[in-house]
Amino acid sequence: MTELEHIIWISIILIVITSVRSRLKLALPILLVIVGLILSLAQCFPVLAINPDIIFNIVLPPILFDAAWNTSIPDFKRQFSKISLLAVGLVLITTTVIAVVVHSIIPGFNWAISFALGAIISPPDAIAATSIAKDLPLSRKLITLLEGESLLNDASALIAFKCAIIALVSGGFSFWNAGLQFVIMGISGVAIGLSIGYGFVKLHRFLHGNSNVETFAVLLLPFATYSLAEHLAASGVLAVVSLGMYISWNSFSLFSSASRLQMSHFWDVIIFILNGLVFLILGMQLPHIVEAIPRSEIIVLTLYGFLIFCLLILIRLIVTYFFPLFSCREDKEDAAFQWRFRKEYIILSWSGMRGVVSLATAFALPLYANNGSLIAQRNTVLFLSFVVIIFTLVIQGISLPQLIKRITPKPNKQDKGKELNDLLIERSLSYLESLEIDRPLVQEVVQKMQVKLQNQREEPNDMKRSIKDIICRDEWRACYFDIELSMIQVQRKELVRSYQKGIYPLEDVRKKEFELDLWTANIYQEMKL
C-alpha cells in the first residue's frame, strides 16, 4: 500500500470518527489519538511514520497562520506580559528543569541530549487546548492567554531545540552563544514576517480583486514565509505568526467581501483536514517507536515518562502562580489571578497538552554526531516524548472539560454580539438621517431602510430581504442598492474602529463581518437580476 493510499484510508477514518464524535462526548483531538492508538495496537493498519520535514514545512505553517489570523491583536497586546511568560519564560524554565532532572535520574543522558528532550516536550500543542475548550464557558482573557501562548511557544522551543542539537552534534555548548542565537532568530523571524506582510499589502492591488487568485496567494504566503525564514536561519514560526497577524489586521479593507467569504470556507476545510490527520497519525506511531526499545526497558521508561508528565504539570502550576507579578495594571480582571486557586488559574495550569509538533521535533533528532558516532539515546528520547504526549493528551485532555464544568469559570455576562449589532444599527440610522433627500424616491428608500434596521435590532439574526423591499422599477432598485451599499460601508468602518480599539472581541467582529459580506454578496447578486 502506497503512502497516498494510506492517506486516503486515514481520511476516510477521520470522516467516520468526526461523524460519530457527538455521541461519544470526547474532544476530537483526544478521540483521534485514542483511535490511532487502538489501530496501531490491533496492527490492522500499516504504520505511517511522521516525517519532520512534512510537519514543519507543510502542516505547521497554515495552522499557525490560521491561529494568528483569528487572534485578537488588541487583546494580545493587553496580555502580552503574561503570554510572554507562558510562551518564552515557561518554555525555557521547563526545558531547563526537565534537563536537570533527566540528566540526574536517567543513565547515559548527557547535558546536550537532556536539554534536547526538555525543548521537545516543553511547548503545549498549538491546537489541543483551544480545540478541547472552544465550546466551553471560558472568559475572554483566558482564551487570549491560551491562544497567545500557542502562537509563540513553538518558536521558543524550536530555537532552544536547535541550540541543543548544535551542542549535541558538535560536543560543545555555550550559554552565551545559545542565548544570543535565541534572540537573533526571534527578532529576525518577526522582521521577515512583517516585511513579507507589508510587501503583500502593497502589491495586493495587482491581483485586481480576483477572489480565486487572492485565496491562492494567501494560501501560499505561510509556506513561503516559513521556508524563507528557516533558509535565513531565522524563526519560521515567528515569521508566520507575525505575517498572519499583520494580514489579519489589514484584512478588513484589503480583501473584497467575495474573497473573504471564499477564504473563510476554504481555510475551515484545510485546518480541519490538517488537524484531524496529524492527531490520528500521532496515535498510530506507537509500533514504530516501541520497536526500537528493548522490552525490558519499556516499563521503566514509561515510569520515567509519567514522572516527567507530573513534573510538567508542577512547573506550569508554579509559573502561573506568579502571574500577578506580570500584570501591567491592577484592575478587576487582573485581580482574578491574585489568589492561588482562582478558577482561571486552575484551568490555565491544566491546559498544557503536548502534540504532534513535539513528536515531530523528536523525530528530527539526528542519528549521528559530527564525529560520526551514533547518538545512542535518540530512541529513548523518542519513546519518552511519545509517552509524555499521550499522558498529557489523554489524562489532561479528557479531564479538562470536566474540570471546567465543575469549577464553572465566570463567563462574560455582557452580550457583546448584541451590543455590537445595536451600535452598527445606530450608526446606520445616523447615516440615513444625514443624507440629503433631494427626491421623493430617496425619501421612500430611506424610510424603508429605517424600518428594516429597526426590525434587525429586534431580530439581529434575521438577514432575509423582504420581497416588499424590492420594487420592479429599475430606478428605485438602483437607488436602494446604492444607499444600502453605502450604509454597509458605514457599518464596516465602525466595526473596524471598534475592533482596533479593543472594545469588542475578534470573534464577534468576524461574525458581524461575515454577515456584512453575505449582505453585500446578496446585493450584487440581486443587481444582476
- What would the pLDDT profile of 245-279 be if each residue is shown by its tens digit? 999 999 988 898 888 999 988 998 998 898 888 88
24 falls in which pLDDT band (50, 70, 90)? confident
**Are residues 274 and 62 in contact, defined by beta-carbon separation less than 8 angstroms?**
yes
**Local structure of 374: helix, strand or coil:** strand
The cell numbers describing 294, all together, are 528493548
**Local structure of 368: helix, strand or coil:** strand
**Are residues 163 and 181 in contact, defined by beta-carbon separation less than 8 angstroms?**
yes
Q: Which residues pair with 374 in a beta bridge?
A: 368
Specify the pLDDT at position 216.
93
- Distances in whole angstroms, Cα of residue 203 to Cα of each of 87, 196, 198, 200, 249: 33, 10, 9, 5, 16
- In the chain, the percentage of residues whose pLDDT exceeds 70 is 85
Output DSSP code: residue 464.
Answer: P
> How do the domains of the chain map onto residue ranges?
3-367+375-407, 416-527
* CB neighbourhood size of 447 (10 A): 12
**pLDDT tens per residue, range 332-361:** 444 444 443 466 777 888 888 888 888 888
Name the amino acid, one letter, at 426: E
Least confident of 199-208, 337-346, 474-483, 514-523: 337-346
**Are residues 248 and 68 in contact, defined by beta-carbon separation less than 8 angstroms?**
yes
Calculate the average pLDDT of the chain. Answer: 82
- Sequence-distant (6+) residues with CB within 8 A of 286 are 37, 40, 41, 386
217 falls in which pLDDT band (50, 70, 90)? very high
Q: What is the mean pLDDT of residues 363-369?
A: 80
- Distances in whole angstroms, Cα of residue 399 to Cα of each of 29, 126, 133: 13, 18, 11
Q: Is the per-residue pLDDT at 405 higher than 90?
A: no
312 falls in which pLDDT band (50, 70, 90)? very high
Specify the pLDDT at position 336.
45
How far is the C-alpha of 36 from the C-alpha of 45, rounded, in Å? 10
The cell numbers describing 436, all together, are 440629503
Specify the pLDDT at position 174.
66
Q: Is the per-residue pLDDT at 283 higher than 70?
A: yes
Specify the pLDDT at position 244.
95
How far is the C-alpha of 346 from the C-alpha of 324, rounded, in Å? 14
Specify the pLDDT at position 339.
47
pLDDT: is 401 or 71 the higher one? 71
**pLDDT tens per residue, range 26-53:** 778 888 888 888 888 887 777 677 788 8
Place of cell 560543545: 172
pLDDT: is 480 or 310 the higher one? 310
**pLDDT tens per residue, range 128-141:** 766 666 666 677 77
Specify the pLDDT at position 383.
93
How far is the C-alpha of 358 from the C-alpha of 125, rounded, in Å? 8
**Local structure of 223: helix, strand or coil:** helix
**Are residues 346 and 146 in contact, defined by beta-carbon separation less than 8 angstroms?**
no
Q: What is the mean pLDDT of residues 317-340?
A: 57
**Are residues 387 and 301 in contact, defined by beta-carbon separation less than 8 angstroms?**
yes
- In the chain, the percentage of residues whose pLDDT exceeds 90 is 26
How far is the C-alpha of 93 from the C-alpha of 236, rounded, in Å? 22
How far is the C-alpha of 179 from the C-alpha of 387, rounded, in Å? 29
Q: What are phi and psi of 368, to 5 degrees?
A: -130, 150
Q: Which of 157, 90, 148 is nearest to 315 (CA)?
A: 90
Q: Which of 188, 182, 190 is nearest to 158 (CA)?
A: 182
Q: What is the mean pLDDT of residues 215-221?
A: 94
**pLDDT tens per residue, range 90-106:** 999 999 999 999 999 99
Least confident of 228-237, 272-281, 329-338, 405-414: 329-338
Q: Is the per-residue pLDDT at 416 higher than 80?
A: no
**Are residues 140 and 71 in contact, defined by beta-carbon separation less than 8 angstroms?**
no
411 falls in which pLDDT band (50, 70, 90)? low
Instruction: Estimate to the nearest angstrom the gap between the alpha carbon of 320 and the chain centroid.
Output: 21
Least confident of 57-71, 171-185, 206-220, 504-518: 171-185
Q: Which residues pair with 368 in a beta bridge?
A: 374
Q: What is the mean pLDDT of residues 446-473?
A: 63
* CATH domain 3-367+375-407 topology: Na+/H+ antiporter like fold (1.20.1530)
